[in-house]
Amino acid sequence: MFAVTATQFDPDDPIKCLTFGDHPEPVVPEGWTTVTVRAAALNHHDLWTLKGVGISQERLPIVLGCDAAGVDEDGNEVIVHSVIGTPVDGDETLDPARSLLSEKYDGTFAEKVAVPRRNLVPKPAAISFEEAACLPTAWLTAYRMIFDKAGLEPGSTILVQGAGGGVATALIALGRAGGFRVWATSRSQDKRERALALGADRVFETGARLPERVDAVMETVGEATWKHSLSSLRPGGRIVTCGATSGMVAATQLAQVYFLQKSIIGSTMGTREQLARLAVFLEQTGVRPMIDRVLPLAEAEEGFAAMHRGEVFGKVVFTL
CB nearer to ligand NAP: give 26 or 66. 66
CB 39 within 8 A of CB 130: yes
Helices (H), 223-299: 226-232, 254-258, 272-285
Q: Which amino acid is located at 136 in the chain?
A: P
Burial class of residue 159 in the structure, from the number of CB atoms within 10 Å of its CB (0-12 exposed, 13-18 middle, 19+ buried)? buried
Q: How far is the CB of 287 from ligand NAP (least distance, A)?
A: 17
Q: How far apart are CA 87 and CA 70, in angstroms?
A: 24
Q: Quick check: 232 binds ligand NAP (CB under 6 A)?
A: no
CB 173 within 8 A of CB 184: no
Q: How far apart are CA 99 and CA 96, in angstroms?
A: 9
CB nearer to ligand NAP: give 244 or 294. 244
Query: Which residue from 55, 127, 221, 278 is in contact with ligand NAP, where contact means CB under 6 A?
Result: 221
Q: How far apart are CA 42 and CA 300, in angstroms?
A: 9
Q: How far is the CB of 201 from ligand NAP (least distance, A)?
A: 17
- Segment contacting ligand NAP by CB under 6 A, of 16-24, 184-192, 271-279, 296-304: 184-192
Q: Which amino acid is located at 123 in the chain?
A: K
Q: How far apart are CA 232 and CA 212, in angstroms?
A: 8
Query: Which residue from 167, 173, 282, 291 is in contact with ligand NAP, where contact means CB under 6 A?
Result: 167
By residue count, the chain amounts to 320
Q: Which amino acid is located at 12 in the chain?
A: D
- Segment contacting ligand NAP by CB under 6 A, of 7-15, 41-49, 102-110, 116-124: 41-49
Q: How far apart are CA 100 and CA 11, in angstroms?
A: 20
Which x/- pattern, by CB under 6 A, does the window 120-159 give for ligand NAP? -----------------xx--x------------------
CB 105 within 8 A of CB 168: no
Q: How far is the CB of 89 from ligand NAP (least distance, A)?
A: 18
Query: Which residue from 85, 136, 165, 175 is in contact with ligand NAP, where contact means CB under 6 A?
Result: 165
Residue nearest to ligand NAP (CB): 243
Q: Quick check: 102 binds ligand NAP (CB under 6 A)?
A: no
Query: Which residue from 5, 33, 34, 43 is in contact with ligand NAP, where contact means CB under 6 A?
Result: 43
Q: Quick check: 303 binds ligand NAP (CB under 6 A)?
A: no
Q: How far is the CB of 183 from ligand NAP (least distance, A)?
A: 13
Which x/- pattern, by CB under 6 A, does the window 261-300 give for ligand NAP? -------xx-------------------------------
Rounded to 5 degrees, what are φ and ψ at 116?
A: -60, 145
Query: Which residue from 18, 163, 203, 239 is in contact with ligand NAP, where contact means CB under 6 A?
Result: 163
Rounded to 5 degrees, what are φ and ψ at 291?
A: -105, 120
Q: Which residues bind ligand NAP (CB under 6 A)?
A: 43-45, 48, 137-138, 141, 162-168, 186-188, 191, 206, 220-221, 224-225, 242-246, 268-269, 307, 310
